[in-house]
């Protein structure tokens, strides 16, 4: 048994931010990370990936971006290097290659037993900072598709050259699906894209990056109470890109460039994919999201008397001209690869307490659960939308660390 005051499970951005603040409070702690290296989630992204938010927004505590390209977008390799350097510079106590298997309460006021593949820990406090991107999500009907078709999750995709020759079906049109589809068709591949309900955001609008506007007007400070329903917090993020200096992604432009847009996938059997009759509905949602977004920015500019040049965004409609396809024969279309870009699953069952709701999401208030000494960090909507973003993870991390310190001092 290894006794320790506070154990942080997960060495991603949230776990590192928690560690930074615990160190400031002079609290003994250890960060457990199941991967062998820093930046595990970022290492799972494709080769050409670039940060979706401007470099200036990269705000881990004590190490804000200080480079010479604040409005640029860090590459995948640069992000990984940033995390490696952060651990070294801040002397973060990380134990790599150590996966937490269970968290059990020792007694009412006796702390927690954490079992790992490398031993057991007894901790007064446990912070679960594993995030929501834990396991690759595949639909149940994926197993019904012919074994001759290569199937990958978006986290397994690296570049077009790794795929078998032929056309590619990408399922999902949030951030990952759209960026991968764009790279594939620009490389010369024929691409079929199943479109979901994710919105579209312009990369830049009225002289500034859209992220700058949204941050200033409080878009990322929204709480879950302002959503149409609690389940809305699981919606895919709007599509845009940081690659090549950053640009807007527009599904209508995809259609203009030769991508076959399809409705939501509903099932599969061997070489046949079944699709919903909802392509135009999904395109309309993406268009409306952008329209609502720019209206919000326009109103904010007027209200605050900001000097920003007026701008009219392109009004493309090409996707609406495509007919609805209800069945897709993979063989006749030459589709040899399917990339599933429908997100990730999360599972907190390792915590042996009734601490999640019907959706499996932690029951907490700003990361603090009803069980003394048990916390969560690094998930969107813990307190605000930005709770899971690099630009916002510090606020909740500082709050959790202070809460721990209040019982320690």
Q: What is the pLDDT of residues 281-322, one digit of tens each?
A: 999 999 999 999 999 999 999 999 999 999 999 999 999 999
Averaged over 160-178, what is the pLDDT? 96
| Domain residue limits, the chain | 2-134+346-406, 136-340
Fold agreement (2-134+346-406, 136-340):
yes
Q: For 342-389, how does the pLDDT look when each residue is reduced to its tens digit (9 = 90+)?
A: 888 888 999 999 999 988 899 999 999 999 999 999 998 899 989 888
Q: For 32-70, how does the pLDDT look when each residue is reduced to its tens digit (9 = 90+)?
A: 999 999 998 899 899 999 999 999 998 899 998 888 999
pLDDT confidence of residue 408: 59
Pairwise CA distance, residues 392 & 378, whole Å = 9
**Residues 400, 67, 176, 163: is their CA dihedral positive or negative?**
negative
DSSP classification of residue 370: S
Closest CA to 76 of 188, 177, 153, 155: 155
**What class is the 2-134+346-406 domain?**
alpha beta
Closest CA to 57 of 246, 200, 206, 224: 246
Q: Which range is least confidently modeled, 48-57, 94-103, 213-222, 400-409?
A: 400-409
Pairwise CA distance, residues 362 & 211, whole Å = 28
pLDDT confidence of residue 314: 94
Pairwise CA distance, residues 88 & 252, whole Å = 45
Pairwise CA distance, residues 305 & 297, whole Å = 12
pLDDT confidence of residue 105: 95
Pairwise CA distance, residues 8 & 49, whole Å = 28
Architecture of 136-340 per CATH? 3-Layer(bba) Sandwich (3.50)
Pairwise CA distance, residues 126 & 29, whole Å = 10
Q: Quick one: pLDDT band at residue 180, thresholds 50, 70, 90? A: very high
Pairwise CA distance, residues 333 & 17, whole Å = 48
Averaged over 23-37, what is the pLDDT? 95
Buried b (16+ CB within 10 A) or exposed e, 356-377: beeeebbebebbbbebebbbbb
Averaged over 91-105, what is the pLDDT? 96
At 397 the three-state DSSP class reads helix
**Is pLDDT of 116 > 80?**
yes
Closest CA to 283 of 239, 224, 331: 239
Q: Quick one: pLDDT band at residue 134, thresholds 50, 70, 90? A: low
pLDDT confidence of residue 237: 83
At 126 the three-state DSSP class reads strand
**Is pLDDT of 235 > 90?**
no
Pairwise CA distance, residues 47 & 38, whole Å = 17
Q: CA angle, 105 as apex, 99 and 111 as ends, to 5°?
A: 90
Which residues have a Cβ under 8 Å from the Cβ of 177 and sit 6 or more positions away?
A: 154, 170, 171, 193, 196, 239, 339, 341, 342
Record the pTM: 0.93
- When the pLDDT of each residue in the chain is averaged and rounded to a whole number, the result is 93
């Amino acid at each position: 048994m290894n006794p320790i005051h506070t154990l942080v499970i997960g060495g991603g951005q949230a776990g590192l931010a928690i560690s930074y603040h615990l160190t400031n409070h002079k609290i003994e702690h250890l960060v457990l990370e199941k991967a062998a290296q820093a930046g595990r989630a970022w290492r799972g992204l494709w080769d050409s990936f670039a940060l979706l938010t401007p470099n200036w927004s990269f705000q881990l505590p004590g190490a804000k971006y200080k480079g010479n390209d604040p409005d640029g977008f860090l590459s995948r390799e640069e992000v990984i290097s940033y995390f490696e350097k952060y651990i070294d510079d801040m002397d973060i106590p990380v134990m790599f290659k150590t996966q937490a298997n269970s968290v059990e309460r020792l007694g009412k006021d006796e702390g927690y037993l954490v079992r790992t593949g490398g031993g057991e820990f007894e901790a007064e406090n446990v912070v679960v900072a594993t995030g929501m991107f834990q396991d690759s999500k595949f639909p149940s009907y994926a197993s019904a598709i012919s074994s001759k078709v290569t199937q990958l999750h978006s986290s397994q995709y690296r570049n077009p050259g790794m795929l078998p020759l032929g056309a590619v079906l990408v399922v999902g049109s949030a951030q990952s699906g759209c960026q991968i589809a764009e790279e594939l068709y620009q490389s010369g591949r024929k691409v079929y894209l199943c479109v979901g309900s994710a919105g579209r955001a312009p990369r830049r609008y009225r002289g500034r990056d859209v992220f700058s506007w949204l941050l200033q007007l409080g878009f990322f400070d929204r709480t879950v109470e302002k959503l149409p329903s609690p389940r809305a917090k699981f919606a895919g993020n709007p599509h845009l890109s940081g690659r090549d200096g950053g640009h807007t992604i527009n599904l209508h432009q995809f259609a203009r460039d030769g991508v076959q847009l399809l409705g939501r996938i509903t099932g599969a059997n061997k070489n046949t994919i079944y699709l919903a009759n909802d392509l135009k509905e999904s395109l309309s949602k993406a268009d409306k999201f952008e329209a609502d977004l720019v209206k919000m920015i326009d109103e904010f500019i007027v209200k605050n008397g900001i000097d920003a040049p007026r701008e009219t965004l392109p009004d493309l409609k090409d996707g609406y001209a495509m007919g609805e396809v209800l069945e897709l024969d993979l063989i006749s279309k030459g589709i040899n690869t399917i990339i599933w870009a429908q997100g990730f699953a999360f599972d907190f069952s390792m915590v042996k307490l009734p601490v999640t709701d019907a959706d499996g999401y932690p029951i907490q208030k700003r990361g603090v659960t009803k069980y003394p000494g048990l916390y969560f960090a690094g998930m969107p909507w813990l307190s605000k939308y930005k709770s899971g973003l690099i630009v916002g993870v510090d606020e909740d991390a500082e709050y959790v660390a202070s809460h721990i310190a209040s019982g320690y001092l």
